[in-house]
Amino acid sequence: MRSSPKQTFRRLGRVATAAALALAGAHAQQKPSMTIWYGDRPKDYEVAKLGPTSVPSPAYAFKSKRVLPVTAPPIEDGVVLTRNGKILAIGRAADVAIPEGFTVVDLGDRWCVPGFVDLHCHIASEGFDINDTVHQTNPEMRTLDLVTMEHEQLKLALAGGVTTVNYIPGSGSNMGGFGTLTKTWGRTPEEALVRFPGCLKIAQAGNPERSSGDLGLTPMGMNEGLRATLTRGRDYHLAWEAWKAGKGDKPQFEAGLEYLRGLFRHEYPVCVHTQIYQVVLQTVRELRHEMGLWTVIVHGTFDAYRLSEFVADSGVPIAGGPRQYHFDRGGGAGAGSGAESAFRGVLAGWYGGGMHGWRSTQRGLGRDGIGVNTDSPVVPQQELSVQAAMAVRLGLADDVGILALTINPARFIGADDRVGSLEVGKDADLVFWSGDPIDPRSHVELTVVNGNHAYRRDPRHPRY
Amino acid sequence: MNLALPIGVALAVATITADLSAQRFQGRRRPPREEGGAAPVADAPKAERKVSSWTAITGGDVHIGDGNVLRGATILIGDDRIEKVGHDIEIPEKATRIDAAGKVVAPGFCVVRMQGVAAGGGSEVRDDLNPFDPSIKMALAAGITSFLWQSGGGSNTPAGKSAIVKLAWGDLPSMVKEENTVVSMRVPLDASSMANLRKLVRQARDHLDKVREFEGKADAKPEDRPKPPQGVDDLLAVMQGRKKLWISAGSGGGGGFGGMMARPSGGFAQKEVRQALEVAELVGQGVVLDVPVEAWVVPDEVAATGSMAIVMPRLVVSSDPGRPDDTGSNIAQAAILDAAGVPISVTVPTGGYGGGATVGTGGILGRDLHTPFVDAAFAVRGGYPSRKALRILTLDAARISGAERRVGSIEAGKDADILILDGDPLNYKTFVQSALVNGKVVYRKDEEPFYRHIQR
Amino acid sequence: MQTTTSFAVLLTALAVTAQDQRPTALVNARILTMTDGGSIERGTVLIRDGKIEALGPDVRPPLGARVIDVAGGTVMPGYVHAWSGAGLSAAPRAPQEAPDPTRGRRGRGPRPEVTPQPSSGGNSASKRVADGVYERQDVFADLLREGVTSLSVRPLAPGFPGLAARLEPDGTTHGDLVVDPESYVVVAPATNTAGKKLLKDEFDKAKKALEERKKPPEPQKPAGTEGQPAATPDAKPAEPQKPAEGGKPAEEPKPQEPPKPQEPPKPQEQPKPATDAKPAAAPAQAQPAPKKDPNVEVLADVLDGKRKTFVRMSTVMEMQHWLDAVGETRFPMVVVADAPDSRRGRLDEGIAELKKLGATVLLAPRLLDLPFSRTLVNVPQRLHEAGIALGFVLPDDPAGIRDLRFRLMELVRSGLPADAALRAVTAVPAKLLGIDDKTGSIVAGLRADLLVFDGDPLDPSASLRHVFLRGREITKDPTR
């Protein structure tokens, strides 16, 4: 099912990127040593393991008052046909004929919205934020084996309209390990899987500071630790590529570096829990510019939105949350100077600063744009939409708010061929809301994942 | 007294209906106490008091606090109180006019719980209030104009101090006008504590009988007035309806990490709810269930005692796997209680991250009191009628705090605690444009930091 | 740097002639008089017998006078430090500021509110801090060298800690040092229930005591017991008995503690400790022979307007609690705002309260940050513009005094008129202490307590060159 983007599409993306760089070029020109390696996505996956291309599900025709495909204009009185986990058709009820054998599910005046995507989530195991902080960097760790579909918060996630999560290790060490991109419902974890690794998890500053006195107390030591591990990974990757090209010996397999190899093949990104101006600047320089990695900023809070142009030009997107504001203490000479303190919306800041998501149109690598995340269970998984509501409250446009919950994060993580919008051929992850999904007053009536009913609201005892 | 209605009956009644139907009040159920927010009287009684300054808020859509809206109405304020509300009101010439045309006008939010704003932890709130606490402005920006402060209490008998703290910025004398409207205690009570409570109630009743007898006598001398027995002052006040009794249950209000509570805790489950209602029967007054988890299972029993509830809609307590239908938390609790005729207010999630019942600059937006409307919105998400949901933060919150005589709605005679908003008070995009406390404008969005940069 | 060299030479010369009895003439000086007369751009200040004999552009130094040419320099009055803890055994500390919840740990939500709970204190209003001042301490001379020519030290504890003392900073014996052991009454209200109750209770007692005084004397009483000030309403009871000033203290044969009309028994004889309880019985009610509580009597003087009173209230919050506690009780007071905190109400937000109290203000000379913000507010400027008489609380250590001019420059740069800033450390505090007829400005007849700068005192490159106390030049510490 996975098809690589069309050649023309790609070329277009590169042209757009180049144009954007030329436009904003101050950074690049002033610092010629920083070359942005956009590279290509691999034609095939060597390291990553993808989820099933099709999941058994009955044939349904979901009818509702309003359908928000997200990547296309809203459809009034729409219908979505699904079977075997995929969307077969979408359109106005008047235009789409419901074939024989399709069970009609009439959701009345509900809104049909794509399932939300949360790129920063720690819930899929029993327990909380998971950290195995043996070493400063732990590329040998992975969350894949911890995913269980019975987790209480995954059930709540469904009731909150969240159908895809990037379940990542905690931020107790600089490199927590590899996360899993999974649906929040499935009969088995294998069925729910979207991709493993979903990403490599890196955390910068703050949480992973090592107060033990070991290397990594300050950003200097952290950068050093990350660079050392990533460099080993890159050498390992290059050795394999060389061998494949007929140059050099076959490298010895190293389990601890194998997934780093996929990282350098751009099969999946590094998701960096990073925040604060200086740390974000350094993250983008080191991971994106120096290592050339497919980089996604998650948990992006505080004042780093001041860097949005530079970060966007670097082709790095950002998922913001869970705080959604930076308390700007202002400053300047005297009251009324216009530089007073304020609750600044983090995402409004990123968006307003130029992070629009148009630097690249290709999937994944090099794509900018904004999303929201929960850092669940810090904020409960089911409250992802509240994060968007607060971002909109503090100045983000409504229509961007819904993108930030759906297609944007799907694009950053490279899963927009499956999730993030309602399009023919994509996964049938549909959520039926009682109204505007960003408004906390709205509730989820029905959640469909991979074409299967995953949650239906019991009005006397709704899950959420 | 058999409190245990058949659960089936309770469940049958507990469907979510949008309205509060009168025919439900039957059987042994006490009629609910009169609604504090009756329709406003357009022609209020002529002012006896001397008014030194008039303010008129004109042209706004006035949400009076009980769910009703008066479009394009005028609110006339004399000094610190609302004089008249309605249409065709004559505005004194010297009145300061505030044009609210195109805006929404609502009562200031009364939150039933807030910490870290204006009040310290002293035993007498008025003696350590800080009228210049900058958090006051943040709370006003969130629409909060008053809150219930509590100290002490939470033991096996009703006790504790409380006050309605008005966020009258910079004006200490105006900040506390109602005191000790609420006392609190906790459940579960063990057998001996319950016996002790019964004993105290008996003593209090005996005393009330003596007082009645004394007052019946024509030749009673004031010095012979019966003195109340020791230690029952608060109980007496509760029994006479002078103070509201809040009942909490141990750790019932906790949220744990991420608002997720382990099951089954010693929380405010069905058993504790029933005991709280037993206390209500004992004292002969409705009580306030302070963040019950499973009151939704027995809504009619709650209603029958004339009790009210503070709900934490986002609280998540897992169900007992064997009994998913009548255990655990329920986001529909507010709706179910409301349908049974139980007034409710809400409070924010506590525990873990998020900030809790306060305002500050380090919490998580949407999970603290910068956005008190979010928890009311979650009550709506659970089925509470959207049309009247503003009551949760205004009139019903005031009733739960025992302050409905003074705050909670826009009607003649009440304190002029009023918000002017740029939209539906419970919408996530709405901001408070200005806030009045005691008739004075104490917050203006365009003149304070925080949100002035947000222009839609 | 030539100035420095020549100055060093001059200094050596001065050290030799320190005890010179000749008149001194400061010539070619810019003279900041700190009066409504303003400044004299180029003139002479003539000092004789410890006093300013004359000043003006046309004053000629008499024959034989020591002449100091201060061309390009400035003469101003010495600093008047009205609220000092210098030399007291336990240096009082400013109350801890409330924690700023915005500075909580990153991403962890606000810190739990820590409410400082100061003790409420008690009434020991008649206790003299002077009795605890040890004369042989360097700090007085050190402060003097930095320009503090008038120094008042005050007790500092919650409640009514006692009476402040005015010192001559060059005094070497207790008698020379303490010139007024009862300079003013200190009140440091604690903003809590007990503290407010204390205020109310003690002022209620004082009101009763005052009523007692104003009753006609009972005939059977021996005449000696009354002599209350109320009997002679015209007399200013405190002032006339004070030791004469201006002369050299050595000449005064130590009349240290002139009996005041309502002189209480020595506080040390009081059995009760300073920090707690009220007197055992309210004097007004005690029968038959009512024993007067000296502490209450002091407060009765306060209510009667017979004693100066400095009330430590740094914020409007404290002023509002004061008003809440004392009701309509009023007396002339100086509000001392030595620990301003914009999170409890800046003084410029409390002008109504200040006017209600009829207070003058002594405050810390600094810019205040707005809450949750880096924006700074010039509170002194705003008070000045509102017409509130304004003095500054000076630092207690010599280095702080050296730094004082920079604090003033900061305020002046952001809007406070220079004249107001300098008056706030000289003439205004002198007036608040009631010694403006002796010092604090440059007027013929006043003590020659003068500072000479080699430039404008508000120019950071200028230095303090000479300090005169009662006309006597204070030598610089040679080690500096």
DSSP string, C145-179: HTTEEEEEE----SEEEEEEEEE-TT--SHHHHEE
Looking at chain B from residue 28 to 67, which residues have their Cβ under 8 Å from any Cβ of chain A? none
Tell me whether residue C470 is exposed, middle or buried, using C-beta atoms within 10 angstroms of its C-beta: 0 to 12, 13 to 18, 19 or more.
buried
pLDDT digits (tens, 9 = 90+) for C290-339: 678 999 999 999 999 999 999 999 999 999 999 999 999 999 999 999 99
Domains of chain B listed by start with CATH number: 7-17+107-444 (3.20.20.140)
Name the nearest CA neighbour of A355 among A411, A306, A416, A398. A306
Chain B residues with CB-CB distance to A153 below 8 A: 258, 260
**How confident is the model over C31-36, as a mean pLDDT?**
96
Residues C402 and C319 in one domain: yes
Closest chain A C-alpha to B133 CA, distance in angstroms: 16
- CB-based contact B115 C113, cutoff 8 Å: yes
Decide if pLDDT at A9 tops 60: no
- The residues, any chain, with a CB within 8 Å of residue B82's CB and separated by 6 or more, are B75, B76, B410, B411, B412, B413, B414, B415, B416, B418
Mean per-residue pLDDT of chain C: 81
Residues C150 and C164 in one domain: yes
SS (H, E, C) A232-267: HHHHHHHHHHHHHCCCCCCCCCCHHHHHHHHHHCCC
- CB-based contact C109 B127, cutoff 8 Å: no
Chain B residues with CB-CB distance to C371 below 8 A: 134
Q: Are A148 and A189 in contact (CB under 8 A)?
A: yes
Residues C166 and C52 in one domain: no
The rounded distance, in Å, linking the Cα atoms of A175 and A204 is 9
Q: Are A150 and A165 in contact (CB under 8 A)?
A: no
Within-domain flag for A254: yes
pLDDT digits (tens, 9 = 90+) for A233-253: 999 999 999 999 999 999 999
Tell me whether residue A433 is exposed, middle or buried, using C-beta atoms within 10 angstroms of its C-beta: 0 to 12, 13 to 18, 19 or more.
buried
Domain that residue A193 falls in? 7-51+120-419
Cα-Cα-Cα-Cα dihedral of C286, C291, C294, C299, to 10°? 40
Domain that residue C33 falls in? 2-78+465-474
The rounded distance, in Å, linking the Cα atoms of A445 and A452 is 14
Placement of tokens 């939105």 in the chain: A305
**How confident is the model over C422-426, as a mean pLDDT?**
97
Within-domain flag for A16: yes
Minimum CA–CA partner of A300 in chain C? C107
Closest chain A C-alpha to B295 CA, distance in angstroms: 12
The rounded distance, in Å, linking the Cα atoms of B184 and B119 is 19
Residues C51 and C142 in one domain: no
Helix (H) or strand (E) holding B213: helix B191-216
Within-domain flag for A108: no
Residue A271's DSSP bridge partners are A201, A296
Q: Tell me which of B316, B333, B365, B370 to substitute to probe the interface with A (most A C-beta atoms closer than 10 Å).
A: B365
Chain B residues with CB-CB distance to A383 below 8 A: 314, 366-367
- The terminus-to-terminus CA distance of chain A in angstroms comes to 34
Closest chain B C-alpha to C122 CA, distance in angstroms: 17
In total, the C-beta contacts within 8 angstroms joining chain A to chain B are: 125
Percent of chain A past pLDDT 90, that is, above it, reads 66
pLDDT digits (tens, 9 = 90+) for A26-64: 343 343 333 444 555 666 789 999 999 999 999 999 999
The alpha-carbon radius of gyration of chain C (Å, integer) is 24
Placement of tokens 């504890």 in the chain: C157
Within-domain flag for C446: no
Within-domain flag for C480: no
pLDDT digits (tens, 9 = 90+) for A254-289: 988 999 999 999 999 999 998 888 899 999 999 999
Within-domain flag for C243: yes
Helix (H) or strand (E) holding C427: helix C427-433
Mean per-residue pLDDT of chain A: 87
- CB-based contact C376 A334, cutoff 8 Å: yes
DSSP A266-308: TSSPEEEE--SHHHHHHHIIIIIIIS---EEEES--GGGGGGH
Q: Are C369 and C123 in contact (CB under 8 A)?
A: no
Q: Are B259 and B317 in contact (CB under 8 A)?
A: no
Residues C54 and C83 in one domain: no
- CB-based contact C372 B134, cutoff 8 Å: yes
Positions of chain B with pLDDT lower than 70, given as ranges: 1-48, 250-266, 351-352
What is the predicted pLDDT for the residue at B321?
85
Into how many domains does chain C fold? 2
Q: Are A372 and A387 in contact (CB under 8 A)?
A: yes
Here the tokens at position C155 are: 């007790």
Within-domain flag for A32: yes
Looking at chain B from residue 288 to 327, which residues have their Cβ under 8 Å from any Cβ of chain A? 296, 314, 316, 318, 324-325
Q: Does C320 touch chain B (CB under 8 A)?
A: yes
pLDDT band at C289 (very low <50, low <70, confident <90, very high): low
pLDDT digits (tens, 9 = 90+) for A57-109: 999 999 999 999 999 999 999 999 999 999 999 999 999 999 999 999 999 99
CATH of the domain at A40: 3.20.20.140
CATH of the domain at C27: 2.30.40.10
What is the predicted pLDDT for the residue at C287?
53
**Residues of A contacting chain C (CB within 8 angstroms):** 206, 301, 323, 327, 329-335, 337, 339-341
Within-domain flag for C31: yes
Interstrand relation of C24-32 and C74-77 (parallel, antiparallel or unpaired)? parallel
Q: Does A400 touch chain B (CB under 8 A)?
A: no
Decide if pLDDT at C276 tops 80: no
What is the predicted pLDDT for the residue at B49?
74
Within-domain flag for A392: yes
Residue C451's DSSP bridge partners are C76, C467
What is the predicted pLDDT for the residue at A81?
98
Residues C68 and C88 in one domain: no
- CB-based contact C106 A301, cutoff 8 Å: no
CA angle, residues A63, A64, A69, in degrees to nearest 5: 95
CA angle, residues B366, A153, A348, in degrees to nearest 5: 30
Looking at chain B from residue 89 to 118, which residues have their Cβ under 8 Å from any Cβ of chain A? none
Residues C311 and C421 in one domain: yes
pLDDT band at A446 (very low <50, low <70, confident <90, very high): very high
Within-domain flag for A429: no
Residues C195 and C245 in one domain: yes
Residues C353 and C428 in one domain: yes
What is the predicted pLDDT for the residue at A128?
62
**How confident is the model over A451-457, as a mean pLDDT?**
97
The rounded distance, in Å, linking the Cα atoms of B321 and A155 is 14
Decide if pLDDT at A190 tops 50: yes
Minimum CA–CA partner of B117 in chain C? C113
Chain B residues with CB-CB distance to C352 below 8 A: none
The rounded distance, in Å, linking the Cα atoms of B411 and B405 is 10
Residues C172 and C123 in one domain: yes
Within-domain flag for C225: no
Q: Which of A206, A327, A330 sits opposite C375 (nearest CB)?
A: A330
Within-domain flag for C112: no
Decide if pLDDT at C449 tops 80: yes
- CB-based contact C107 A331, cutoff 8 Å: no
What is the predicted pLDDT for the residue at A43?
64
The rounded distance, in Å, linking the Cα atoms of C160 and C186 is 6
Maximum Cα–Cα distance across chain A? 73
Chain C residues with CB-CB distance to A333 below 8 A: 375-376, 414
- CB-based contact C110 B131, cutoff 8 Å: no
Residues C378 and C426 in one domain: yes
pLDDT digits (tens, 9 = 90+) for B5-41: 444 333 333 333 333 333 333 334 444 444 444 444 4
- CB-based contact B362 C349, cutoff 8 Å: no
Minimum CA–CA partner of A206 in chain C? C106
Hey, how many other C-beta atoms are within 10 angstroms of the C-beta on A234? 18
- CB-based contact B133 C117, cutoff 8 Å: no
Within-domain flag for A449: no
- CB-based contact B173 C320, cutoff 8 Å: yes
Q: Does C372 touch chain B (CB under 8 A)?
A: yes
* Signed CA dihedral, A420, A425, A429, A434: sign only: positive
Q: Are B291 and B253 in contact (CB under 8 A)?
A: yes
pLDDT digits (tens, 9 = 90+) for C79-127: 999 999 998 864 444 444 444 444 433 433 444 334 444 577 899 999 9
Decide if pLDDT at C242 tops 90: no
Q: Tell me which of B320, B359, B364, B387 to substitute to probe the interface with A (most A C-beta atoms closer than 10 Å).
A: B364
Here the tokens at position A276 are: 């604060």
- CB-based contact B355 C372, cutoff 8 Å: no
Interstrand relation of A370-372 and A318-320 (parallel, antiparallel or unpaired)? parallel
Within-domain flag for C106: no
| The residue type at C220 | Q
Chain B residues with CB-CB distance to C317 below 8 A: 129-132, 172
What is the predicted pLDDT for the residue at C18?
47
DSSP A45-105: -SS-EE--S------EEEEEEEE--SSS--EEEEEEEEETTEEEEEEETTTS---TTPEEE
Closest chain B C-alpha to C322 CA, distance in angstroms: 10
CATH of the domain at C153: 3.20.20.140
Within-domain flag for C281: yes
What is the predicted pLDDT for the residue at B317?
87
Into how many domains does chain A fold? 1
Q: What is the side-by-side order of every strand in the sheet holding B182-187? A: B182-187, B244-249, B288-290, B308-311, B344-346
Helices (H), C17-58: none
Residues C191 and C206 in one domain: yes
Q: Are C136 and C103 in contact (CB under 8 A)?
A: no
Minimum CA–CA partner of C344 in chain B? B132
